[in-house]
Amino acid sequence: MAGPIAKAGHVAPRTRRRQGSSPLFRTALLLALVLTSALAVIAGRSALIFKGAQGSAPVATQIAMSGLQPGACMSFAPTAGRSGKTVFLDPGHGGLDPGVVGATAGVQVLEKDLTLAVATRLTVMLRADGYRVVMSRIADSSVAKLSASDSISGALTASAVHRDLVTRAACANAAGASVLLSIHFDAFDDSSVGGTETFYDPARTFASQSKRLATALQGALVTALGSSDRGVWADDQLAAPALTPSGSTYGHLIELGPTAAGWVDNPSRMPGALVEPLFLTNPDEAKLAAAVSGQARIAGALRTGLEQYFTGT
């Protein structure tokens, strides 16, 4: 194989969106989607994790660090047992960054909504397994606190996307996480392309652990989804266009990669992987990813992969 085709997490959202509608229409649509999905999150999915097991006790607390959006970098204590380990879960994209825009049966699906749905389910599972979980975001928002100058015509600027990714890595560090898992979905111009890909960074002192984590997650996903196994890839093999010349020179995923002065000053300090379980540009895979049953299968597989990683099996 020549290399992965994933549109990975450091690619500017504008470059990955399919064209076809006017900017004004897209902005209006995006605003409507932001509102409806925010309401849906408040009313539905997030109730799962916000409901305190002991009545009024706070369920989540925000990690103390500067530059965070409300609801970003939230810590959840275990609900049963104590493993002593913290899992950092990063639902990719959010807020003005929809990630991949896919469609199934004429209905639009946004990567940012599906990554949050999967991460929310996985959080419930991991807490019950005795893990503390820190989620980079628990709502349809960015992780970094953004201002008006961070978006143009409803889309985040490249520098805002960069700052958001850097803030996610900083959150994982501030959380003292044992492991970092970033959840994304994939896209490609040819809608017949599908399958599962997972990335890790080979340029870290803990690269062998990251690769073991990525391999466990990839295997569990392929087994659970019956998807095409597109393989585990080092993130420096990515051919996707980078945000800026600095990003292109960097050649790594910002959340997983090493220090680069002025670009990644506070790199993640724990083994990590970025999963792309399915392609949202493939109608059959988008349908599976958008279904509650499909999201439960993905979350269950990620739990299995993490368990294999932690137990060394």
Q: For residue 150, give the DSSP letter.
A: G
The closest alpha carbon to 277, from 220, 203, 200, 196, belongs to 196
Q: Site size for Zn ion, by CB under 5 A?
A: 3
Q: How far apart are CA 192 and CA 4, in angstroms?
A: 16
4 binds Zn ion per the rule CB under 5 A: no
Closest distance to Zn ion from the beta carbon of 245 (Å): 22
Q: How far apart are CA 311 and CA 61, in angstroms?
A: 28
| For Zn ion, the closer CB: 6 or 270 | 6
Angstrom distances, CA of residue 261 to CA of 24, 264, 267: 38, 6, 10
The residue assigned the tokens 């599906």 is 114
| For Zn ion, the closer CB: 15 or 208 | 15
Closest distance to Zn ion from the beta carbon of 9 (Å): 5
Closest distance to Zn ion from the beta carbon of 261 (Å): 26
Closest distance to Zn ion from the beta carbon of 47 (Å): 25
Q: Which of 127, 137, 162, 184 binds Zn ion (CB under 5 A)?
A: 184
List b or e across 123-146, with b for residues whose CB sees 16 or more CB atoms inside 10 angstroms: bbbbbebebbbbbbbbbbbbbbbb
Closest distance to Zn ion from the beta carbon of 217 (Å): 16
Q: Do residues 279 and 184 make contact, with C-beta atoms less than 8 angstroms apart?
A: no
Rg for the chain, CA atoms, rounded? 18
| For Zn ion, the closer CB: 60 or 254 | 254
Closest distance to Zn ion from the beta carbon of 185 (Å): 6
Side chain identity at residue 209, one-letter code: Q
Interface pattern 82-111 for Zn ion (x via CB under 5 A): ----------x------x------------
Which stretch in 23-31, 32-40, 58-66, 182-190 sits in contact with Zn ion by CB under 5 A? 182-190
| For Zn ion, the closer CB: 99 or 272 | 99
| For Zn ion, the closer CB: 113 or 129 | 113
The closest alpha carbon to 294, from 278, 275, 308, 305, belongs to 278
Positions that interact with Zn ion (CB under 5 A): 92, 99, 184
